[in-house]
Amino acid sequence: MTNSKLTETLTFECETGNYHTFCPISCVAWLYQKIEDSFFLVIGTKTCGYFLQNALGVMIFAEPRYAMAELEEADISAQLNDYKELKRLCLQIKQDRNPSVIVWIGTCTTEIIKMDLEGMAPRLEAEIQTPIVVARANGLDYAFTQGEDTVLAAMVQRCPSNAPEQNQIEKKSLVLFGSLPTNVATQLNLELERCGIQVAGWLPSQRYADLPVLNQNVYVCGINPFLSRTATTLMRRRKCKLISAPFPIGPDGTRAWLEKICSVFNVAPINLIERERLIWDSLEDYITLLRGKSVFFMGDNLLEISLARFLVRCGMIVYEIGIPYLDKRFQSAELQLLEKTCSEMNVAMPRIVEKPDNYNQIQRIRELQPDLAITGMAHANPLEARGINTKWSVEFTFAQIHGFTNARDILELVTRPLRRNKALENLGWNQLVKM
Amino acid sequence: MKLAYWMYAGPAHIGTLRVASSFKNVHAIMHAPLGDDYFNVMRSMLERERDFTPVTASIVDRHVLARGSQEKVIENITRKDKEENPDLIILTPTCTSSILQEDLQNFVNRAGLDSKSDVILADVNHYRVNELQAADRTLEQIIRFYLEKARSESNKPLRKTEKPSANILGIFTLGFHNQHDCRELRRLLTDLGIVINQILPEGGSVTNINELPKAWFNLIPYREVGLMAANYLQNEYDMPYVAVTPMGLLDTENCIREIVDIVKSSDTSYNFDFETYIDTQTRFISQAAWFSRSIDCQNLTGKKAVVFGDATHAASITKILAREMGIRVSCSGTYCKHDADWFREQVDGFCDEVLITDDHTQVADMIARIEPAAIFGTQMERHIGKRLDIPCGVISAPVHIQNFPLGFRPFLGYEGTNQISDLVYNSFTLGMEDHLLEIFGGHDTKEVITKSLSTDSDLAWAPEALTELQRIPGFVRGKIKRNTEKFAREKNCNLITLEIMFAAKEAVGA
Q: Does one domain contain both B200 and B175?
A: yes
Which pLDDT band holds residue A277 (cuts at 50, 70, 90)? very high
Alpha-carbon distance of B414 to B291, in angstroms, equals 13
Which residues numbered 37-96 in A keep a CB inside 8 Å of some CB on B?
Answer: 43, 45-47, 49-51, 53-55, 57, 60-61, 64, 67-73, 75-76, 80, 85-86, 88-89, 92-93
> Residue B190 class from Cβ within 10 Å (0-12 exposed, 13-18 middle, 19+ buried)?
exposed
At which of B246, B277, B308 does a domain end? B277
Looking at the domain A11-19+273-427, which fold is it? Rossmann fold (3.40.50)
In a domain, B271, yes or no: yes
Which pLDDT band holds residue B470 (cuts at 50, 70, 90)? confident
Which pLDDT band holds residue A5 (cuts at 50, 70, 90)? very low
Alpha-carbon distance of B94 to B12, in angstroms, equals 8
Predicted-complex ipTM score = 0.91
CA geometry: angle at B58 spanning B79 and A363, to 5°?
A: 50
Q: Does one domain contain both B309 and B427?
A: yes
- Residue B451 clears pLDDT 50, i.e. is over it: no
Q: Does one domain contain both B302 and B420?
A: yes
Residue B182 near residue B22, CB atoms below 8 Å: no
Q: Does one domain contain both B172 and B263?
A: yes
Across the range B119-139, mean pLDDT stands at 94
Which residues numbered 180-199 in B keep a CB inside 8 Å of some CB on A?
Answer: none
At which of B254, B277, B300 does a domain end? B277
Across the range A282-309, mean pLDDT stands at 96
* Tens-digit pLDDT profile for residues A167-220: 555 578 999 999 998 889 999 999 999 899 999 999 999 999 999 999 999 999
Provide the strand spans (E) within B296-440: 304-309, 328-334, 353-356, 374-377, 392-394
How far does Cα B216 stand from its chain's mean position? 27
Q: Which residue has the higher pLDDT, A376 or B318?
A: B318
In a domain, B454, yes or no: no
- Residue A2 clears pLDDT 60, i.e. is over it: no
- Residue B450 clears pLDDT 60, i.e. is over it: no
- Residue A427 clears pLDDT 80, i.e. is over it: yes
What is the CATH number for B108? 3.40.50.1980
* Tens-digit pLDDT profile for residues B363-408: 999 999 999 999 999 999 998 998 888 889 999 988 888 889 999 9
Average pLDDT, chain A: 92
pLDDT of A322 = 97
Across the range B223-230, mean pLDDT stands at 97
pLDDT of B272 = 85
In a domain, B1, yes or no: no
pLDDT of B431 = 52
In B, which residues are within 8 Å of A140 by CB distance?
Answer: 33-34, 60-62, 65
In a domain, B135, yes or no: no
How far CA A384 is from CA of A207, A304, A376, in Å, comes to 42, 21, 12
pLDDT of B136 = 97
pLDDT of B22 = 97
Alpha-carbon distance of B92 to B56, in angstroms, equals 10
Nearest in space to B480 (alpha carbons), one of B494, B463, B462, B500: B500
- Residue A403 clears pLDDT 90, i.e. is over it: yes
- Residue B474 clears pLDDT 60, i.e. is over it: yes
Average pLDDT, chain B: 90
Query: CATH 3.40.50.1980 region(s) of chain A?
Result: 11-19+273-427, 24-142, 173-264
Residue B216 near residue B264, CB atoms below 8 Å: no
Residue B369 near residue B454, CB atoms below 8 Å: no
pLDDT of B449 = 44
pLDDT of B288 = 94
What pTM value is reported for the model? 0.89
In a domain, B41, yes or no: yes
Residue B410 near residue B180, CB atoms below 8 Å: yes
* Tens-digit pLDDT profile for residues B56-95: 999 999 988 888 888 899 999 999 999 999 999 999 999 8
Q: Does one domain contain both B267 and B330?
A: no
- For chain A, give percent helix, strand, coil, nearest 5: 45, 15, 35
**Is the Cα dihedral A313, A318, A321, A326 positive or negative?**
positive
**Annotated binding residue at A342?**
no
Q: Does A366 touch chain B (CB under 8 A)?
A: no
In B, which residues are within 8 Å of A50 by CB distance?
Answer: 7, 10-11, 14
Say which DSSP state A314 is in: T
> For chain B, what is the domain count?
4
Helix (H, G, I), strand (E, B) or coil at B146: helix
Residue of B296, B341, B365, B456 marked catalytic: B296
- Residue A385 clears pLDDT 50, i.e. is over it: yes
Letter for the amino acid at B503?
Answer: A
* Tens-digit pLDDT profile for residues B159-168: 899 999 999 9
Lowest mean per-residue pLDDT among A260-269, B427-436, B437-446: B437-446
Facing B40 at nearest CB: one of A73, A108, A378: A378
May I ask the CATH architecture of the domain A173-264?
A: 3-Layer(aba) Sandwich (3.40)
Q: Which residue has the higher pLDDT, B449 or B323?
A: B323
Which pLDDT band holds residue B455 (cuts at 50, 70, 90)? very low
Q: Does one domain contain both B426 and B317?
A: yes
pLDDT more than 70, % of chain B: 93
- CA-based nearest distance A377→chain B, Å: 5
Instruction: Say if the Cβ atoms of B2 and A111 lie within 8 Å.
Output: no
Q: Does one domain contain both B369 and B325?
A: yes
In a domain, B149, yes or no: no
* Tens-digit pLDDT profile for residues B261-281: 999 998 888 888 899 999 999
At which of B74, B107, B129 does a domain end? B129
* Tens-digit pLDDT profile for residues A108-132: 999 999 999 999 999 999 999 999 9
pLDDT of B304 = 93
* Tens-digit pLDDT profile for residues A16-54: 999 999 999 999 989 998 999 999 999 999 999 999 888
Alpha-carbon distance of A144 to B37, in angstroms, equals 13
Q: Decide if B359 is catalytic.
A: no
Q: Does one domain contain both B120 and B170?
A: no
Which pLDDT band holds residue B6 (cuts at 50, 70, 90)? confident
Q: Does one domain contain both B302 and B216?
A: no
May I ask the CATH architecture of the domain A24-142?
A: 3-Layer(aba) Sandwich (3.40)
Q: Does A344 touch chain B (CB under 8 A)?
A: no
Across the range B469-489, mean pLDDT stands at 80
In A, which residues are within 8 Å of B53 by CB distance?
Answer: 378, 382
Instruction: Say if the Cβ atoms of A380 and B44 lie within 8 Å.
Output: yes
In a domain, B150, yes or no: no
Taking the C-alpha atoms of A382, A384, A385 and A387 in order, what is their torsion angle to the nearest 10 degrees? 130
Range of the domain at B317: 290-440
Q: Does one domain contain both B46 and B173?
A: no
Taking the C-alpha atoms of A383, A387, A388 and A392 in order, what is their torsion angle to the nearest 10 degrees? 50
Facing B41 at nearest CB: one of A53, A359, A377: A377
Which pLDDT band holds residue B440 (cuts at 50, 70, 90)? low
Lowest mean per-residue pLDDT among A416-425, B133-142, B205-214, B260-269: A416-425
Q: Does one domain contain both B489 and B436?
A: no
Instruction: Say if the Cβ atoms of A362 and B11 lie within 8 Å.
Output: no
**Annotated binding residue at A23?**
yes
Q: Does one domain contain both B320 and B370?
A: yes
